[in-house]
């Protein structure tokens, strides 16, 4: 995890708040073939704009925010910064189940089928369940959240996600008083995720949060971005987004969420615990052993910007860590 591109900024998409799930799906199919042909070209022309599926016009289903723009900003649900261009979010990814080459994930994952996907939610809960994506949307209608995303490799984006607060799903299954952590697991199926034939990580990819982190209103179970269903390369059909933590905590293509009593193992921590902590809270003062975390490359910008403590979400989440030394708990 260490290559950093130099790419100029492109565009901002207007903040509409409606989208249509069925049309999303059709758009997703088109996206696969468009991205496949575009990828090779982009490899040689990294500044070229790749065509992406058209934004769907039919009205439906993002929950209209009841709060004013100022309230959304204050809660951290929306950042006051331009979103990273859609083609850059779709074209530069980490998803080792497909390939370790960031520019090739879109191609490698283009045929990933997620029809009939179900997420098991079990462990220390009173009401375990198995949920389709549509059922997740019934538990809580998707809302738009525009978050900063800071990768531990010192690059960043601003991404307009759609999804439901993880807390809403956890409340529905009723954690017992013994539940202290939440463990997440990605699909394990090397026939569909060819990168799992290689031993680059122990599969399946696993992640975890403390229960209070998982219940925080910023923690999102994301099912879409740019008002369309989650594309394969970004973790279709459902992934985690915790904006104040390094991006590797944002586990993709989740099949199981288990409430547990003890801190669960996490993939990158198991790979190298001195480089990737369980907490992995963004902290410009704690360097990675091989590079500084003080600055970052915002994808699409020239130059570097300073990394913000807790990725700019200090006001919202610092209370989760009172009494903890965040240096020790990287």
Residues lying near ligand MTE in the complex (CB under 6 A) are found at 1, 93-97, 151, 186, 205, 234-235, 247-248, 250-253
Q: Considering beta carbons, is residue 76 or 247 the nearer one to ligand MTE?
A: 247
Q: Considering beta carbons, is residue 97 or 296 the nearer one to ligand MTE?
A: 97
Q: Is 212 helix (H, G, I), strand (E, B) or coil?
A: helix
Q: Considering beta carbons, is residue 36 or 172 the nearer one to ligand MTE?
A: 36
Tell me which residue of 254, 248, 239, 282 sits closest to 267, measured CA to CA.
248
- Nearest residue to ligand MTE, by Cβ distance, number only: 247
Minimum CB distance to ligand MTE, residue 321 (Å) = 22
Which residue shows structure tokens 């209608």? Answer: 141
**d(Cα 231, Cα 31) in Å, to the nearest integer?**
8
Q: Considering beta carbons, is residue 95 or 147 the nearer one to ligand MTE?
A: 95
> How far is CA 58 from each of CA 16, 81, 114, 134, 318, rounded to the nearest angstrom?
12, 27, 23, 18, 40
**d(Cα 43, Cα 104) in Å, to the nearest integer?**
9
Minimum CB distance to ligand MTE, residue 296 (Å) = 12
Minimum CB distance to ligand MTE, residue 207 (Å) = 8
**d(Cα 260, Cα 124) in Å, to the nearest integer?**
6
Q: Considering beta carbons, is residue 93 or 143 the nearer one to ligand MTE?
A: 93
**d(Cα 122, Cα 127) in Å, to the nearest integer?**
8
249-270 burial string, b = 16+ CB within 10 Å, else e?
Answer: bbbbbbbbbbbbeeebebbbbe
Minimum CB distance to ligand MTE, residue 78 (Å) = 19
Q: Considering beta carbons, is residue 124 or 184 the nearer one to ligand MTE?
A: 184
β-strand pairing of 220-225 with 228-229: antiparallel
Minimum CB distance to ligand MTE, residue 69 (Å) = 26
Minimum CB distance to ligand MTE, residue 250 (Å) = 5
User: What Rg, from alpha-carbon coordinates, does the chain have?
Assistant: 19
Minimum CB distance to ligand MTE, residue 24 (Å) = 17
CA atoms within 13 A on the CB side of 152: 23
Q: Considering beta carbons, is residue 61 or 275 the nearer one to ligand MTE?
A: 275
């Amino acid at each position: 995890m260490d290559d950093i591109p130099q790419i100029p900024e492109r565009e901002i998409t207007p903040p509409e708040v409606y989208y249509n799930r069925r049309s999303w799906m059709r758009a997703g199919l088109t996206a696969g073939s468009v991205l496949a042909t575009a990828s090779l070209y982009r490899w040689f022309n990294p500044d070229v704009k790749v065509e992406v599926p058209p934004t769907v016009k039919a009205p439906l289903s993002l929950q209209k925010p009841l709060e004013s723009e100022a309230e959304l900003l204050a809660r951290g649900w929306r950042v006051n910064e331009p979103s990273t261009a859609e083609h850059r979010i779709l074209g530069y990814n980490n998803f080792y189940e497909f390939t370790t080459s960031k520019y090739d994930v879109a191609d490698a994952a283009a045929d990933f089928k997620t029809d009939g996907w179900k997420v098991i939610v079990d462990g220390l809960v009173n009401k375990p369940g198995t949920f389709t994506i549509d059922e997740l949307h019934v538990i809580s209608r998707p809302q738009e959240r525009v978050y900063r995303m800071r990768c531990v490799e010192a690059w960043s984006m601003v991404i307009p996600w759609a999804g439901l607060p993880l807390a809403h799903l956890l409340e529905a299954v009723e954690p017992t008083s013994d539940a202290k952590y939440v463990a997440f697991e990605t699909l394990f199926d090397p026939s569909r995720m060819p990168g799992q034939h290689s031993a680059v990580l122990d599969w399946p990819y696993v992640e975890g949060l403390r229960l209070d982190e998982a219940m925080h209103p910023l923690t999102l179970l994301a099912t879409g971005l740019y008002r369309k269903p989650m594309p394969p390369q970004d973790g279709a059909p459902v992934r985690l987004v915790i904006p104040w933590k390094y991006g590797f905590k944002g586990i993709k293509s989740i099949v199981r969420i288990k409430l547990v009593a003890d801190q669960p193992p996490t993939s990158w921590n198991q790979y190298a615990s001195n480089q990737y902590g369980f907490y992995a809270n963004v902290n410009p003062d704690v360097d990675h052993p091989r590079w500084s975390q003080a600055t970052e490359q915002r994808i699409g910008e020239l130059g570097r910007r300073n990394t913000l403590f807790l990725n700019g979400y200090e006001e919202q989440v610092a209370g989760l860590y009172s009494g903890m030394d965040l240096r020790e708990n990287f």
